[in-house]
Amino acid sequence: MNSRIVRKALAGFRWQDVDVLAYKADAAPFRDVTRQVLFGDAGQASQLRYFEVAPNGHTTLERHAHTHAVMILRGAGRCLVGDAVFAIETFDLVTVPPLTWHQFRASIESPLGFLCIVDADRDRPQLPTPVELRQMRELPAIRAFLEADS
- Contact footprint for a second copy (CB under 8 A): 2, 4-9, 13, 15, 18, 38-39, 42-46, 48, 66-67, 69, 71-72, 79, 81-82, 84, 86, 88-98, 115, 117-121
Closer by beta carbon to a second copy, 60 or else 100: 100
Closer by beta carbon to a second copy, 83 or else 134: 83
Contacts of residue 135, defined as CB under 8 A and 6 or more positions apart, other chains included, come to none
Query: How many CB atoms sit inside 10 A of residue 122's CB?
Result: 14
Q: How far is CA 150 from CA 74, 81, 84, in A?
A: 24, 20, 20
What's the closest the beta carbon of residue 54 comes to a second copy, in angstroms? 19
What's the closest the beta carbon of residue 27 comes to a second copy, in angstroms? 28
Task: List the one residue out of 122, 89, 84 whose CA is nearest residue 103.
Answer: 84
What's the closest the beta carbon of residue 45 comes to a second copy, in angstroms? 4
Distance CA 24, CA 95 (A): 21
Q: Checking DSSP bridges between strand 31-39 and strand 21-22, what pairing results, if any? A: antiparallel
- Is residue 79 part of the annotated active site? The answer reads no
Closer by beta carbon to a second copy, 29 or else 99: 99
What's the closest the beta carbon of residue 99 comes to a second copy, in angstroms? 12
Q: Which of 33, 116, 142, 146 is catalytic?
A: 116
Closer by beta carbon to a second copy, 29 or else 84: 84
Q: 3-class SS at 113? A: strand
Distance CA 26, CA 18 (A): 21
Residues noted as catalytic:
116
